Amino acid sequence: MIPRKTEKGQAIILIVFAIVGLIGLTALTVDGGMAYDDHRHAQNAADSAAFAAALANAKSEDLESAALDIAASNGYDNNGTSNIVTVTIVPAPSGTCVDRFGVNIADSKEITVDITSEVKTFFAPVIGFRTITNRVSATTRACGVYIAPIFGGNAIVSLNPDTTNCAYDSGQSDAAKWNITGGGIFSNGCAYSKNGDSVTLDPGECVTTVGAASNFTCSQTGQPAYAYPATALALYPPNPCDGTAGDVGIIPPALPNSGTITYSNGVYCISNLDQYDSRDIVLNNATLYVTDLQFDLKFAGGGGFSGTPTSSGTYSSYYMIVAMDPTPCTGYTDNNGQVIVYRGNGLGTLYGTILAPSACIDFRGNADGSAIHSQVIGYNVSSNGTASININYVEEENRRDPIYPNVQLLK
């Protein structure tokens, strides 16, 4: 008798292959899912660590420690076994971090965080994979902090956003002249000049406006607007006169009946600016902080501002700060607003920034022909009369604030 063939051995082989296949599918689903989750988590950790290092650069802190701390807080502690975290810091390429003059900013860095992680598998060892390796990377660019003038270094800044009633107006008199050196003019709305000879600027400086610009030899229209009043409010140092800044404000004594008023070495709280009309106000390393929401200072018959602003600290380089009026003035004849008519009759030169973003500031010339070394920031800035307005803006003599880095995630 011929023995019958059996297929039992073949069935066992097929079953074994089926089991291995099922385990492989399970490994792909379970272990692959864990590996994918780890990859996503590691990438987020690398991004966060790179950003943390970039921010540390702005604070002059240790970049590598900042990155490693954030990576560890996300579960990647650089233990050399389950994960390795590498931080690479190199100078930013030339031309990628520059100031407004195109000069490379010091201490600009590119920071790369690489994370390698090992994910232990549950089912994949059956098919020869005990771990799955993930590798992720993130790179940020952190431009260094640098000091820059406020409002782009313009000598005259008019913040009225109205594009019909121009924020800057050089006046109607053919005899009045503006001679500005060291900076330009910015209008948050439109700007007007009676003719091309009324405003003289340095070569390369222009009148820049959001709206139209009429009768200037150099003008750039359609510029980005400053949000009003938010941008101006962000510049304000703490009010030294209301107790929130540690009562650093000095209440000046009663004004004498005549003579020059001199304030030295401090920030002076001025609650009635009208009292100073026609008086000579001289600052010596001091700042005027005006809390009035309504005044009409016209220096009729003489007097004026001169002297030097606070040289250091929170209020440095501000000659005068005027409290923000929620209802800005409408013009230099507004009896219910903040009005300064500057006649240039002071005892000497005026230095430092005037921050009066809700005031109307009207210039009637520099009586002695000397220049104002100020950056003038108002709601409306205008001129009238026949005298020349000479402004010599010097960046180092006016307010400058730190520009913090623009952190970019490169990859």
Q: Where are the domains of the chain?
A: 9-144, 148-403
Which residues make Cβ contacts (< 8 Å) with residue 287, sequence separation at least 6?
Answer: 266, 267, 268, 309, 310, 315, 318, 319, 320, 321, 352
Task: Calculate mean pLDDT across residues 188-215.
Answer: 92
Sign of CA dihedral 10, 11, 16, 21: positive
Amino acid identity, position 344: G
Lowest pLDDT segment from 89-98, 340-349, 384-393: 340-349
Q: Which of 376, 360, 384 is nearest to 183 (CA)?
A: 376
Cα atoms in the 13 Å half-sphere on the side-chain side of 281: 25
pLDDT averaged over the chain? 86
How is residue 397 written in tokens? 């003599």
What's the CA gap between 293 and 295, in Å, rounded? 7
How is residue 66 written in tokens? 């900042």
pLDDT value of residue 126: 53
Q: Which residue has better confidence, 294 or 101? A: 294
- Tens digits of residue pLDDT in 135-159: 999 999 988 888 889 999 999 999 9
What's the CA gap between 301 and 375, in Å, rounded? 25
Q: How confident is the model at residue 263 (pLDDT cuts 50, 70, 90)?
A: very high
What's the CA gap between 409 and 411, in Å, rounded? 6
Which residues make Cβ contacts (< 8 Å) with residue 46, sequence separation at least 6?
Answer: 71, 113, 114, 115, 136, 137, 138
Q: How confident is the model at residue 27 (pLDDT cuts 50, 70, 90)?
A: very low
| C-alpha separations of 83 from 30, 115, 240, 245, 288 in Å | 21, 7, 52, 48, 59
pLDDT at 1 over 60: no
